[in-house]
Each structure stands twice: as C-alpha cells, then as structure tokens.
Amino acid sequence: MNRIQRIKNTYYAFNILYNMGIMVFGGTLYLYMKSIHDSYADINLFLSIFWIVGFITEIPSSVIADTFGRKKTLISSCVIRSIGLFLLFFDWGNMVFLILSAIFTLLGESLRSGTVDSWMIDSIREEE
C-alpha cells in the first residue's frame, strides 16, 4: 500500500471512530445526565455553554493548528475533549464540573474540527 493510501485510510479510520463516539455521546447525553440527577435546566445550561464555546473557539482553533502543527493540535484536541468528558462523568450535580465539562468538551471539538481534514490534505501534498 502506498503512502498516500495509508494517509487516507488513517483519515477515514479516525473519522469513523470519532464520529461513532459522537453518536453514542449525543444519543445518551440526556439519559446519562438525567440519571445522575441533573435537572433539565442543568442539561440545557450544559448544552448552551457547549455551543457558545464552540462558536467562540472555532476560528482561533485554525490559527492554533497553523501555528503548532496539525498533529500536535489533533492530539491536544483528543486530550482536552477527554478531560471534558471525564469531568462530565464525575459531575455528581456540581455546577462547576458541569460548566468546565462543557468548556473542555467543545474546546476539544473545535480544535479537531478542521484539523483532521487539513492534516490529510497537507500530508498528501507532501507525498506528491
């Protein structure tokens, strides 16, 4: 298998696994948060902060990827999102954990959103 095909396969595998995780996360978030006795107001606060952080951090995340490199930014995004989900797991009704979880989770997503595509395109261009 040539190098370009390997890059494409890595890209597809990463996106498939990541999106499968997002589907599970999105489909069970309300149920999980309700099971740990968060109110509907808490759940909606989490989602509001989640999307506001995404709106604010989407463009600067591209600058970070250009400055520090695609691979480092992608790894950082996975670590930051994991921290956010870890905080959500240990929420236990604490509003601080809930807010921090929303911030870290979508900050990680913002760092990832355009970085994977840019990494693949840059890697293929280097090989050609």
Residue range 74-116, pLDDT digits in tens: 899 989 989 988 888 876 667 888 888 889 988 998 888 878 8
What Rg value do the Cα atoms of the chain yield, rounded? 16
pLDDT reported for residue 89: 81
Residue 1 has pLDDT above 70, yes or no: no
pLDDT given at position 91: 66
- pLDDT averaged over every residue in the chain: 85
Segment 37-61, tens digit of pLDDT: 778 888 888 889 888 988 888 888 8
pLDDT of residue 80: 93
Q: Residue 12: how many CB atoms within 10 A of its CB?
A: 11
pTM as predicted? 0.79
**Is residue 91 within 8 Å of residue 101, measured between CB atoms?**
yes
Backbone CA torsion sign across 119, 125, 126, 127: positive
What average pLDDT score do residues 26-41 get? 83
- What is the residue type of 57? T
pLDDT of 123 above 80: yes
Domain that holds residue 42: 3-127
Total tally of structural domains belonging to the chain: 1
- Report the pLDDT value the prediction gives residue 12, as an integer from 0 to 100: 92
